[in-house]
Amino acid sequence: MNYIIEQSARGYDTLSVEALLATKRRIFLTNPVDSDNCAEIIRQLMFFNSQDAAAEIVLYINTPGGEVDSGFAVYDTMRMIDAPVRTVCIGVCASMGALIYLGGERREMLPHSRLMIHDPSFGGGSYAGKKPHELQAEVNKLSETRDALCRVIAERTGRTFAEVCEKTATDTYFTPEQAIEFGLAHAVAERI
């Protein structure tokens, strides 16, 4: 982690770059989406919201995606707090990263960034020895998750559920211009 030395009335303070950015209400998601980093993001969102519910929070995202439940927890928190959240894709927002990105009131992408949406897939684990009804139950859960993801994408983009399902059937990548056209993004970032 990088540190900055600042002079204050107390003398010299050593602060992490992350701590300095947090004072400006900046949050980063730059790892796979999991329960640990999502819990930290949720805490930061809630803290910043309690400090000033009218001031913008900026969430910078560069992630390959990850856990569905953890991603939905961040998305729901973003949608439920009063403070406006601006999301900025700074590399790739893939899978659950794209869903979190869609939680922003204002959604921007850097000029060479990409967004990727797709259907959820089975995580780890072995299905060896499972009975047909057990496998069918897993498929049903996966289908429910797919429907929930597609509903969110449709709601946030203004596209129909069928249009979204067509795009998520495979890994679909969007340049900033394509993402704007589809309704995933609002603009190419002019400032970060």
For the annotated catalytic residues, the residue numbers are 95, 118
Reference 104, options 172, 164, 177, 183; nearest CA is: 183
Q: Cα–Cα distance between 29 and 15 in angstroms, integer?
A: 20
Reference 189, options 127, 117, 69, 104; nearest CA is: 104
Instruction: Check: CB of residue 167 under 8 Å from CB of residue 161.
Output: no
Q: Cα–Cα distance between 78 and 80 in angstroms, integer?
A: 6
